[in-house]
Structure 1
Amino acid sequence: MSIKYTVVERGEPGVTGGGKKKWYAQVQYDGEMTVDDLVAEIEKFSALSEADIRGVIIALENVIHKELVNGKIIRLDKLGSFYPSLSSSGADSEKDFSVSYIKGAKVNYRPGKRITDSLTTATFSKKK
């Protein structure tokens, strides 16, 4: 199996009219994995029942949600880490800064070594 890609033309970011255009690879996704699909795959590697696996996935989602909102970093060993980050406007001084400068929060994900290493062995093929 390989990661399928197409080639797309893109202009230079921030240049009016696109500047000099170049061609770049773009992943062509090969479907999705739903919770049902993940449960079926995990069952093959585990003695746990479908209900147990589904329960653990839902509980993990709930705990991650709860702890991210409390500003925690969630480290899942080889799977990686989830952590919150903020986007804000700048104030002229620390004293001038207030919560109103915060535009929003988002979740970042940093994959673990095992996941990043798995992509070093990936092969690529152009989608026809």
Structure 2
Amino acid sequence: MSIKYTVIERGEPGVTGGGIKKWYAQVKYDGEMTIDNLVDEIEKFSALSEADIRGVIIALENVIQKELVNGKIIRLDKLGSFYPSLSSSGAETEEKFTSTLIKSAKVNYRPGKRIEDALSVADFTKDK
């Protein structure tokens, strides 16, 4: 299998009118994997039942959610890490900064080495 891509034209960021336009690769997604699909695939490599696998995935989701809102980094060994980050407006001094200046929180993901390595040797095929 390979990662399919298309080529799109983009202008320069921040330049009025787009500036000099160039062509860039963009992933052409080939569907998605749902929890049902993941359970089916995991069953092939495991002695666990469908219900057990589904239960573990849902429990993992619940624990990750709970711990992220408590400011924890979730390290899942070879799978990678999930960690919270913030976006805020600035304040003139540290004393003037309040939590009302925080605009949003989001989750970042840093893949583990095996996942990064898998993508580093991926093949690419231009979609027609």
Do they superpose with TM above 0.5? yes
- Give the secondary structure class of the aligned counterpart of 2:78: helix
Looking at structure 2, the residues matched to 104 and 121 of structure 1 have their Cα atoms a distance apart, in angstroms, of 35
2:124 alignment partner AA: F
Give the unaligned 5+ runs of structure 2.
none
Q: Write the letter of the residue equivalent to 1:53.
A: I
User: Which residue in the other structure is 2:94 paired with?
Assistant: 94
Counterpart-to-counterpart distance in 2, 1:91 and 1:120: 41
The one-letter amino acid of 1:85's match is S
Count of aligned residue pairs for this structure pair: 128
Alpha-carbon distance between aligned partners in 1 of 2:103 and 2:120, rounded to the nearest angstrom: 36
**2:104 & 2:25 partners in 1: Cα distance?**
31
What SS does the aligned partner of 1:78 have?
A: coil
Partner deviation per Cα, 1:65-91 (whole Å, 9 max, x = no partner): 000000000000000000000000110
TM-score by length of 1: 0.99
Provide the C-alpha distance between the structure 2 equivalents of 1:119 and 1:102, rounded to a whole number of angstroms: 34
Taking structure 2 as the reference length, the TM-score comes to 0.99
2:117 aligned with 1:121, yes or no? no
Deviation, 1:121, is 1.1
CA shift, 1:17, in A, is 0.1
4+ residue segments displaced more than 6 Å: none
Q: Residue 29 of structure 1: SS of its match in structure 2? A: coil
1:68-116 deviations in Å (ceiling 9; x for gaps)? 0000000000000000000001101001101111101000000000000
In 1, Cα distance between equivalents of 2:95 and 2:120: 47
Deviation at 1:41, TM superposition (A): 0.2
Matched residue, 2:66: 66
1:1-24: CA deviations, max 9, x gaps? Answer: 110001000000000000000000
SS in 1 for 2:60: helix
Output the CA distance in 2 between the equivalents of 1:29 and 1:97. Answer: 42
